[in-house]
A and B are shown apart, each in its own frame.
Chain A
Amino acid sequence: MFSLERWEEIFDTIRKNKLRTFLTGVSVASGIFILVILLGVSTGMQNGVQSQFQRDAANRISVWTGVTSVEYKGLNPGRRIQLKNRDYDLADRKYQDQLEYKSALYRIWGGLINYKNESGNYRVEGVLPDYQFLESATLTDGRYINYSDNDEYRKVAVIGKKVYNDLFKDKKSAVNKFIEIRGVLFKVIGVYTDPGGEREEARVFVPLKTSQKVFGAGEDLGGLAFTLPQEENFDQAVKTSQEFTAKLAKQLKESHTIAPEDESAIRISNSLENMKTVYDMMRNIRLFFWFVGIATILAGVVGVSNIMLIIVKERTKEIGIRKALGAQPLSVIGMILHESVFVTTIAGFFGLLLGMLLLEFVGPMVETDFISNPTVNFQVAITTVIILIFAGAIAGFFPAWKAARIKPIVALRDE
């Protein structure tokens, strides 16, 4: 099977039949190439969607308010609902055992911030210590807000990396420096980064009570944020968080005298629930790509066997001659299979290489939110090439076998 003589014979045949070899090669190489690109784009989409969801804690539940849309107990619709400290305290007390992280927050939109000669407008939020984890923030310098900061109304601030880059041009540590927020001096205690990127890092956090006092908010809150502890089972986690969300909504609606069916007064977004939708979608996308990929491979296999059939047909006479000269059936099968497997292998790896090179060099240049870093698992790609070669050999075996059974007398009959 692997004798030098056979190889010489194969190379001879390939050299003398360049077009045929080229066509077989192109069909195999393009199949693999398309598959690699598909798998790459599929991975890229997955990466893209995943990075969109890394901004905040994956299981975050956020509450904010709007205006009522339904008349209830004599109250007119169009009433603005304002969350108060007691709403948070009640939820905290009631669900203490169920909650992992929790925070109330108060927002000041467009807080003008000065440091020395630099200034900028950033979102300022009054938050509780847990908020760091609700935001998936990581500190690069200093510390986050703690409970004593809050209880003692300390004027301290944690600033985002973008704020730091904008204001602290000297690149020295911002910790213990004083910044002015709406004319009030705050001491910087930490700098954070956020996987959500610049938009999420253009913010300043201060203790909740400090913010309410300094900016004259009284007992008002801008929103609530919670996470529930992680659970092993994703579906179970979704169910638990949905139950919690429902209870929380019911309680808030009761205390603010809102109709139970009013969807616009109390808004609750459940990341986990959203994530489930996205994961389902992503799974479907992946399935779709696999389907297309497998169909492509099938088309490749059909293409290879088709070409093999034509080759055998074209070589019928030659096979007849070879048999008349003493070629044994097995040697005929071997010759045809050996040649086809050799051509498919070379072409398959060429297509693989081309696809991977394209992903390698063009992949990083793709700049959209939905595709990032399209790569292909090398092992998967190699496996597909091997499958294709194997399938090609199987598909080629039957024509070869048929060829081996051709009676030389039939093959040699003059037309």
Chain B
Amino acid sequence: MDGLPIAAQDDSWEVAGRRFRSRLIVGTGRYKDLEETGRAIEASGAEIVTVAVRRVNLGDPKAPMLQDYVDPRRYTYLPNTAGCFTAEDAVRTLRLAREAGGWNLVKLEVLGPPPFLYPDMRATFEALEALLKDGFEVMVYCSDDPIAAKRLEEMGAVAVMPLGAPIGSGLGIQNPVMIRSIIENAKVPVLVDAGVGTASDAAIAMELGCDAVLMNSAIAHAKDPVQMARAMKAAVEAGRLSFLAGRMPRQYAADPSSPLAGLIR
């Protein structure tokens, strides 16, 4: 962090009582192999990584596991409910995750059908209610709907995470107005989760005032994932600094940068 202004060095954020310096959360899926996963995550500077919960392969019990390449003592594992299409499945999955990992901070996502896998908010509300009763601290993937986001917060979600575009689409932030509206009304952290395709998308999300950005495919499916992880780290930092600095006002005419006084005649 050398060279950054003091304000940026102190610029941490908090979710569910845990404090983090990095505002980039990365997924651990879709990489070529576990070795590449480990290197890309290291390069991203992320402190939180999302992970999925799946059956172990009984035929190959000694196969390398994610923990061998992404150390859970170094990174905060955020178990997700990817692949769950009902509230019941989501709750069951996260109970197993809590037992496997020993912590209760989780990411809830209950998705609708392909091709958009858009958040199923009715099922999401139902799952959130059950998870909160069971003592989980829940970061919730949600639609870019200010009413839904507010309701999640009021129910007790520790963070709301609207999509910028469909999962894995890489289309960038399609809905800056609604994301901004969610941020302005929220008392819990707001993260853009899903939709980022390239570094400028991450910067845009941060310039809108998000607390952090969550991404997976934008890094894992880049031609060079480790290089893209570095780009995303820089973009999130740049977007955050830009948000804190406060952009100049837009105006629809030129305004010269050099003084007009003292011109030679």
Answer whether A and B are interacting partners.
Answer: no
